[in-house]
Structure 1
């Protein structure tokens, strides 16, 4: 290890992280860096060109470092290079910025974070929010010049966000009345009115752009493979597709066995309908049930020593904001701000927009979704990830670990006895079928082998999902290629690592130790986590007096 080089690398990473925050102030708000709370990004095409040059400059700087000089931070060097390469791929090759009008969703996200969080104090957040509303007008106008190659489905998604934002802005104004004085409140009101006018203009502009927008949104097989590789996923697209197909058949057989256990005279479809009918009478009652369920799940994690629970953490359950509901049919999660003292996560649950969608908030699904989003899933994982001192790990796209961990937990807690009934197992297995179907849809949709309608029909037919929910799912899949497949792929990889470690450690294997080792290193790609776990296993083998030099996992 070279101490001087290590110190230089630390400064370089700090500078690079700061550049990321300046490029997109909404990221800074997300991480709890509040000096940027009143700002919006520069939405112009020129800003993207400058950003590319900045990234390339840091790529050159990183060439000055060797892993041998950095010792324990060598993984951060690899991650930093991967992050830059992935960013440059998206900017220069995929060019999603030229296809997807992200302006409305970015505005909504930037405002939502300031409204939903408890820090800084409410009055300060409202003032920053007022400034961000003001700057959003210019931001939306700037983003128009980026849309050089509009895609019809992307424009339609952006249109829905644009039309939904005014309702969210009205909610902001109502909240602001609790904290702002008359002159401050009047200023916010005028700024909101100006933003609403800009949204009307943006809506008309999008409708015009849609006329000549192309239908094809697929990234293509080779581009998808390259993007997965840059994310650190070592399996190829074709191998992942085969994995999804194998799991789909396997889990459907398991679903049939569970159906027979519940009622031998009824089909999978009939049992699915019956279980989905068992739901709270109203959405407000459903929200209360979600809150009760996360409390029960947290107590189980603690009582059964599933994993360590962090200090100063809290999870808030609230409605998904209106502008996100068309792409978030069920639930989603916002991690705590890394730099806020109190680690408060946000568990968003989407209200049903028709009576049929209320079935998705049935009691068994509430339990399974809360394991995934709350304890011991996303909230536990990402709160613990925030404790790692590395700045670069905050920017890392370890989606297969983040989603894979939460998906892994759904079954892992059942295996320890949590809500381990045939009915809960049935719907948890149905979710496994959904995740397997996701792999197939994600890859075939991204490779241009499946249309939007075919993808929706496939989800409905394979999982029994309500059509409205399936449509919202597939909308998100169209602009997140490689994201949906991460759930089951990540679960599969985690289970394989666990099997290998259990085999090596034998009776010395401890589940809590394994989970803590998984979680304490940040939300990084499994490719790198595997190397860290190898060293941890070797240390444990040394402690127990067993040989370590031949133990590779």
Structure 2
């Protein structure tokens, strides 16, 4: 365990020290916050959704290797949390420890045993959500948000290629069909973003956004083709 607070989000709040504070309360909360920081670092779109904008220009690593790395990190984190003697924690921290253990076990089970991620493609949802969260919210002026959007559009081809490595075995046709529908709707959204940029960006910024959108459209079209190919020999069994 570490006594250091996570460096990126020092503003994270934690419970006021309990009257029955245990000697490992603060170390336990350090662990919880460190995992949160890792999740946001590895999943930038999650961070955007939570209002943390340090990585708004990124989509994250969509590969199988990255996801399995997160799984191993969670297993290691679970082991450390389980090793904490509950008697060294306050009553409130003991309760938080049980919640942390429950959530970790559920997440690990979903990833390691259910493994929906091997049979369902969600990369386009990540792209679409990552763009929409920036486009719809007004936490920054539109021009600054469009710069982050351009970066995410530029990251789209690599992210989609990485995501293909997650597909193992027959893909579920119903789920692939939903992702194909997303592929068909995203280019229109890209056009809306570019249209909004015409009044908000200077000429060089607008050209960058236009190029990023066109490159992303090509990547989405190629990914749609891959989805269709993987759907044809797929399965209707989603359980």
Q: How has the CA–CA distance of structure 1 residues 156 and 67 changed in structure 2, closer, same or farther, with 3 Å as cutoff?
A: same
Report matched runs for 1:45-56 at 5 Å.
45-56=64-75
On the 8 A contact 2:173/2:235 being kept in 1, the answer is yes
Name the CA distance, whole Å, in 1 between partners of 2:229 and 2:63. 20
Q: CA deviation at 1:4?
A: 3.0
Match in the other structure for 1:240: none
| Superposed CA offset, 1:139-162 (max 9, x none) | 011101111131111111110011
**Partner of 2:33 in structure 1?**
14
* TM-score computed with the length of structure 2 as normaliser: 0.87
1:175 aligns with 2:209: no
Task: Give the alignment partner of residue 138 of structure 2, picking from 104, 107, 118.
Answer: 118
1:187 to 203, 208, 212: 208
The structure having more radius of gyration, on CA atoms, is 1
Unaligned runs of 5+ in 1: 219-553
Give CA deviations for 1:205-245 in whole Å, capped at 9, x if unaligned.
11111111011112xxxxxxxxxxxxxxxxxxxxxxxxxxx
For residues 408-447 of structure 1, what are the structure 2 equivalents within 5 Å?
none
Query: How far apart are residue 70 of structure 1 and its match?
Result: 2.8
Counterpart for residue 163 of structure 1: 184
Asked if residue 139 in structure 1 is aligned to residue 159 in structure 2, the reply is yes
Q: Please give the residue correspondences for 1:450-461 in structure 2 after superposition, counting only pairs within 5 Å.
A: none
Q: Which of 23, 29, 45 is 1:26 aligned to?
A: 45
Please state if 1:36 is matched with 2:55.
yes
Candidates 78, 81, 95, aligned match of 2:115: 95
- Structure 2: which 5+ residue stretches go unaligned? 1-19
Task: Provide the rounded CA distance (Å) in 1 between the counterparts of 2:103 and 2:145.
Answer: 30
Q: Choose between structure 1 and 2 for higher RCO, CA contacts under 8 A separated by at least 6 residues.
A: 2
Cα deviation, residue 120, structure 1: 2.5
Q: Are 1:78 and 2:114 counterparts?
A: no
Does the CA-based 8 Å contact 2:59-2:152 persist in structure 1? yes
Give 1:78 deviation, angstroms.
1.6
For residues 401-550 of structure 1, what are the structure 2 equivalents within 5 Å? none
209, 215, 220: which one pairs with 2:230?
A: 209
Q: In the aligned structure 2, how far is the partner of 1:3 from the partner of 1:81?
A: 18
Query: After TM superposition, which residue ranges in structure 1, 4 or more long, deviate above 4 angstroms?
Result: none
Could you tell me how far apart the structure 2 residues matched to 1:74 and 1:180 are?
Answer: 52
Task: Output the aligned Cα RMSD.
Answer: 1.3
User: Counterpart in 1 of 2:3?
Assistant: none
Cα distance, 1:2 vs structure 2: 4.4
Q: Structure 1 residues 122, 3: closer, same or farther in 2, change over 3 A?
A: farther
1:84-483 equivalences in 2 (<5 Å): 84-149=104-169, 150-218=171-239
What is the rounded CA distance, in whole Å, between the counterparts of 1:215 and 1:171 in structure 2? Answer: 35
Task: Give, in whole Å, the separation in 2 of the partners of 1:24 and 1:146.
Answer: 16
Please give the alpha-carbon distance, in whole angstroms, between the structure 2 residues aligned to 1:124 and 1:4: 45
